[in-house]
Amino acid sequence: MTERDSALGEQERPLDAERTIGRDEAAKGPPAIETDGLELTYSDGTQAVKNVSLTVPRGEFFGFLGPNGAGKTTAIKVLATLLRPTSGEVRVNGFDVQTEPRKVRESIGYMAQETSVDLEMTARENIQFACEAYGVPRNERLRRIDELLDLADLADVADKRAEDFSGGMKKRLDTATALVHRPPLVFLDEPTTGLDPKARLRLWDYFRRINDEGTTIFLTTQYLEEADQLCDRIGVILDGEIVAMGSPEELKRRVGGEILDLELDDDGSRERAAEVARESGLFDSDATIDRTDDGISVTAQSARANGTDLLVALRDAGLTVTGFNVRAPTLDDVFLAITGEHVEEAEPMADSVQGGDG
């Protein structure tokens, strides 16, 4: 039995298979997720989730952003009732995960990282099976299956067995089966890992659409851009703890201004360039001036306004700048500001496609 099967339970049915109520309507009622002091320690003593207190209002597109091993999957498994919290209060759609796990499971969709696709079945049969398991009304199934096959870019291979699919194709099929019943809250655990950019964009559009219709989405991702593009609010999770929370814009504002990246060809001149920037008086005391692999980076409110003056100061100091760029902060800069470290994004999986659409 897959995790999603167990999340559903054998006889359980969703609350509402046709939920197109819109975000305003969805906002009424208890929060989609409420945790207070949530902790999860594995039997080997690993503290995977530490003191997480979090409220996700209904209708929100919420993201857990963190690197490998940060605790994202563990947190999702607790919320989806697959793991019992070691301590803390956890309510999902108003139901307590410990005392009302069945009601929680009836009210959620869950796409695990591991595929739950049945390789013996075709794409269509996999989605059909999920429709039956989730109780999608019979008269809706054909339309829903076609819609999801199209969304997942699998219409051309709808009647081929999943064992012949590439990793990317299986992932798309998996995503489709998690969404068949349009539950009010969907957990998506790194749903686009391994997908090519085109497929990812297509999934993003679909996620936005279902969120616009009122479905709360709790997404985990290692992709900074994904969280930035999709989420109303992001919890940055590191070593089991939420280290920052806010909208993408709020998080970026914490970085403190814009970022001026300068390239200097000569390795020896980079430290000198950083010194010149610090001593120039062009940037206020909150500014951050760092060496980078190929030059220096200045994060400051006045980065754009005083960038040209810095170029002049560097030229006067006899240094040669080979590249110059002013940009808004990214979430990677947020990580850097919070943790002092860059966060590596997952590389897209190489897709050994059969049928040419991986």
The residues of the shown chain that bind ligand ATP, judged by CB under 6 A, are 42, 44, 46, 48, 66, 68-74
Q: How far is the CB of 161 from ligand ATP (least distance, A)?
A: 28
For ligand ATP, which is the closer residue by CB, 45 or 340?
45
Which residues, 6 or more positions from 222, have their beta carbon under 8 angstroms from its beta carbon? 65, 66, 67, 68, 190, 193, 343, 345, 346
For ligand ATP, which is the closer residue by CB, 321 or 346?
346
Nearest CA-CA partner of 75 in 24, 113, 102, 44: 113
Q: How far is the CB of 77 from ligand ATP (least distance, A)?
A: 8
CA distances to 111, 245, 266, 297, 335 from 294, rounded to whole Å, are: 40, 31, 9, 10, 20
For ligand ATP, which is the closer residue by CB, 61 or 187?
187
Q: How far is the CB of 137 from ligand ATP (least distance, A)?
A: 34
Q: How far is the CB of 70 from ligand ATP (least distance, A)?
A: 4
Q: How far is the CB of 155 from ligand ATP (least distance, A)?
A: 30
For ligand ATP, which is the closer residue by CB, 47 or 288?
47
For ligand ATP, which is the closer residue by CB, 73 or 128?
73
Nearest CA-CA partner of 256 in 334, 340, 339, 341: 334
CA distances to 259, 286, 295, 308 from 326, rounded to whole Å, are: 6, 18, 14, 11
Nearest CA-CA partner of 3 in 93, 150, 115: 115
Q: How far is the CB of 56 from ligand ATP (least distance, A)?
A: 17
Nearest CA-CA partner of 146 in 124, 117, 126: 124
Q: Facing residues of 110 across strands?
A: 187
For ligand ATP, which is the closer residue by CB, 205 or 344?
344
Q: How far is the CB of 91 from ligand ATP (least distance, A)?
A: 20
DSSP 22: -
Residue 44 burial (10 A CB sphere; 0-12, 13-18, 19+): exposed
For ligand ATP, which is the closer residue by CB, 151 or 237?
237
- Calpha distance 348→247 (Å, rounded): 25
Q: Facing residues of 122 across strands?
A: 161
